[in-house]
Structure 1
Amino acid sequence: MSDVQIRPITADDHDVWLPLWKAYLTFYKTELTDAVTQSTWTRFLDSAEPTHAALAWQDGKAVGMVHFIYHRSNWSIHWSCYLQDLFVAPDQRGTGVGRKLIEYVYATATKDGADKVHWLTHETNATAIALYERIAERPGFIQFRKPL
């Protein structure tokens, strides 16, 4: 098996990104309209947008994706980076692809002047939590939200 390579998405990657995106949404038992998916894709390609995406490639096949968004914080003068979506193909889990995608975000955010990367996962996602506890701190905050 060859090494995994991580690179930012390009306009030509839509057809390999879309199945990963749909599998991610299925994993979290959610559906989005085609308009939201198209808007998300378009934002990745717009350099004026604070949202970014990268794909993990192995042997010429996309095996994972990560989406991240820069934002300001009232607790720092630097950017923060929210790692919003992370997905690794089921047959690639446990091989280090997820860690490489997160490390890509760490390196990119550092280069872009962010001083923090943060993210959420569902409390039932034990496989991901096991990885996250090895490569990040768990601050103990509980999320609350109200859809508007």
Structure 2
Amino acid sequence: MSIEVRPVADGDFFAWLDLYEKYAEFYDTELTDQKALVLWSWLTAPSHEEDGLVAVDGDRLVGLAHMREFARPLEGDRGLFIDDLYVVEDSRGKGIGHALIEAARKRAEEEHLGVVQWITAHDNDEAKSVYDSVAERTSWVTYEIDLTKADA
């Protein structure tokens, strides 16, 4: 198996969509056509902050990573945040997640960014075993206010 990691390209839409639908399903999140098209428009717009990588095995997309730069005020620099990272189930354990993370790391180094960060679900043990092998787990706890839900 020879995996190529490259930027998302216009002709990737349907294969990318298949991957992203599986990613959303994994996290039990509804992915509407509208949400998918909005994200695709971001990924393919040169001026948008969200970028995407895909892992390709032959002519098949087997993984994706979506990322964006962010400001780090206390450090006086910028970082790279991986929003989404997914490898199709039948291709896991073959180094594809590592390859996607390494490509993000190389991009961050080329851009002289200070850090690469991402989060995962507390019970995503398979992913955490990969992440623990390439990065240091931090002590930060994530909070969010979901503005899309109506007050109860």
**TM-score band w.r.t. shorter chain:** over 0.9
TM-score when scaled to structure 2? Answer: 0.93
Q: CA deviation at 1:53?
A: 0.3
Contact between 2:50 and 2:66, CA under 8 Å: does it hold in 1? Answer: yes
For 1:130, give the aligned amino acid. S
- CA deviation after TM superposition for structure 1 residue 62, in Å: 0.6
- Cα distance in 1 for partners of 2:110, 2:67 equals 14
Total equivalences in the alignment: 147
1:115 alignment partner in structure 2: 114
Q: Quote the residue 1:144 is aligned against.
A: 143
1:31 has 2:23 as partner: no
Contact 2:21–2:31 (CA<8 Å) still a contact in 1? no
- Name the Cα RMSD after superposition: 1.0
Q: TM-score, normalised by structure 1?
A: 0.95
> 1:8 aligns to what?
7
SS of corresponding position for 1:42: helix
- Distance in 2 (CA, whole Å) between partners of 1:78 and 1:46 is 24
Measure the CA separation in 1 of the matches of 2:32 and 2:73. Answer: 33
Unaligned runs of 5+ in 1: none
Aligned sequence identity (%): 28
- Per-residue CA deviation, residues 86-107 of structure 1 (Å, 9 max, x unaligned), is 0001001111000000000000
- Matched with 1:57 is 56
SS at match of 2:90: helix
SS across alignment from 1:129: helix
Render the CA deviation track for 1:9-40: whole Å, top value 9, x for unaligned: 11111011000000000000001332221111
Q: Which runs of 4+ in 1 moved over 3 A?
A: none
Aligned equivalents of 1:86, 1:22: Cα separation in 2: 13
